[in-house]
Each structure stands twice: as C-alpha cells, then as structure tokens.
Structure 1
Amino acid sequence: MQRLRIVGAALAGITLLGAATACGSDEKAGSEEKVVVDVTVEDGAITPKGDRVEVSTGQPIDLVVTSDVAGSLHMHSDPEQEFAYEVGTTTIPISIDRPGVIEVESHDPPQIIVQLEVR
C-alpha cells in the first residue's frame, strides 16, 4: 500500500511540474503580443506627442495612422526607415531587433510622435 501512495504522489508531482511548465510557456508566448500605437494626424496636429512605449526585441508593433492628409513617418533605427501613409487609416507593421530607444517622428510638422523603448 505504501508503494502505491508513493507512486501516486510521484505522479501527482510530475503532473504539477508539467502544468507549471505549460504555464511558463503560455506566459512567454503572451509577452510577444502585438503592440498597437495609434497615431492621429488632423488639421496639421499629430498625436501622440513623444509618448514612451515599452516593447521587447522582435515584438510585433503596428503603427496605425489615421490622417486627413498623406504624409510619412521617419524611424530612427539602424537602418533608418521612412513609412508613407495615405489619407484615411494606414497600418504600418514594424519590429525592432536591438535594445534601445527608437524615435518615430514626423518632418511635417517636425515632431517626435513616439519613443519605442526596446528591451
């Protein structure tokens, strides 16, 4: 009888260990959720105005630009990148593979829109 109890306890421990490992995997997968940054260009003004957003290296990011004029965003990354947007809503998918602070800005009007703090 004791042997069965020990085996039963061991099996229960293995089951709990498996459940804990599964939870750890789920948490890691959840950390890679897409980050959405909403950008509005209206009557010559842009929002947000320099907000800092924390992201992980390689994490998918969507810059969703809703604008009343066509224009472009400039990203100070390595290499630097420029993204055009049209009147209406444009989604610009990006990801950054190096830690640091990456500024996304407009040249017309000149303004830092968002700072992506990549960890």
Structure 2
Amino acid sequence: MTRTWRYAALALAVATAALGCAVKEAPDTEPPGASSPAEAVVVEFRIANGSVSPVNARKEAEVGQPIDLVVDSDAADELHVHATPEYTFAVRAAAGQRFRFTVEVPGRVEVELHHAGKTVATVVVRP
C-alpha cells in the first residue's frame, strides 16, 4: 500500500470513529413525567338467539382513555354510545367485531343496543 493510500485509510478511520462518537442513542426508558398511552377498557358481549349477554356490565375509565366494544353477534343491530361526543356503530352478524371510542367529558356513559333495546354497559368516566 502506498503512503497516500495509508493516509487516506487512516483519515477515513478517524472520520468514521468521530462520527460514531457523535451519534447519541435513544434512552431505554421514558423521561421522568412522561406518560405511556392508557390501556383500553374492554367491554365484551354477545348477541345470540335474540338474547344479549351480559346486560348492563359496569366498567370504569378515565377521560381520553380508549374504550373497546368487542361483539359477537348472530344478528345485525346498532350500538349507541350516549357520551360526549356520541357514537353510533353498526353491528353485523359476525364474530370478533371491535369498536373503539374515547370520551371527553366525565360522567356515566351508557352503551345501548338500539334494536334489542338493551343497555350493554354503563361506563363511569372519571376526570
């Protein structure tokens, strides 16, 4: 190897090492005071042969926390979520349907099946 190539290789090695030192790795943990996303509150129910189970389940959530409705149904219906904001979801005759919403105003939130006329769940949403 000629002297010019040796200097070029040495310069490249030094530059690469300097760049490697300048890279800052992300910390493994979140900084103090950072909050992780809230885990969803899950309400599971089933519509079969004209019956709804369970009826009027009780759950608790916080404002902004995701709420998942998981539905197995043998009939079409419509879910009404009486909250602020309000939500409406079309239920099909299918298993494993999932509907997600959040509530922005604390209070009691009723989740009602419109055609069946049943309250599936009441979620108490706290500030």
Task: Confirm or deny a common fold (TM above 0.5).
Answer: yes
Kindly tell me the number of residue pairs found equivalent between the two proteins.
96
- Give 1:115's aligned amino acid: T
Residue deviations 1:44-87 (CA, integer Å, cap 9, x gap): 11122112100010001110111011111111123432110111
Paired residues for 1:32-111 under 5 Å = 32-89=38-95, 90-111=97-118
Question: Which one has a larger percent helix, Structure 1 or Structure 2?
Answer: 1
1:112 and 2:119 correspond:
yes
Q: What's the TM-score, normalizing by structure 1?
A: 0.71
Q: What's the TM-score, normalizing by structure 2?
A: 0.67
- Give 1:105's aligned amino acid: E
Q: Between Structure 1 and Structure 2, whose CA radius of gyration is higher? A: 2
Paired residues for 1:9-48 under 5 Å = 22=32, 25=34, 28-29=35-36, 32-48=38-54
Partners of 2:68 and 2:84 in 1: CA distance: 18
Identity %: 37
**Structure 1 residue matching 2:36: 3-state secondary structure:** helix
| Structure 1 unaligned blocks of 5 or more | 1-20
Partners of 1:92 and 1:49 in 2: CA distance: 18
The equivalent residue for 2:24 is: none
Shift of 1:103: 0.2
Partners of 2:105 and 2:86 in 1: CA distance: 13
- Greater than 6 Å deviation, 4+ residue runs: none
The equivalent residue for 2:17 is: none
- Give 1:77's aligned amino acid: A
Partners of 1:39 and 1:87 in 2: CA distance: 13
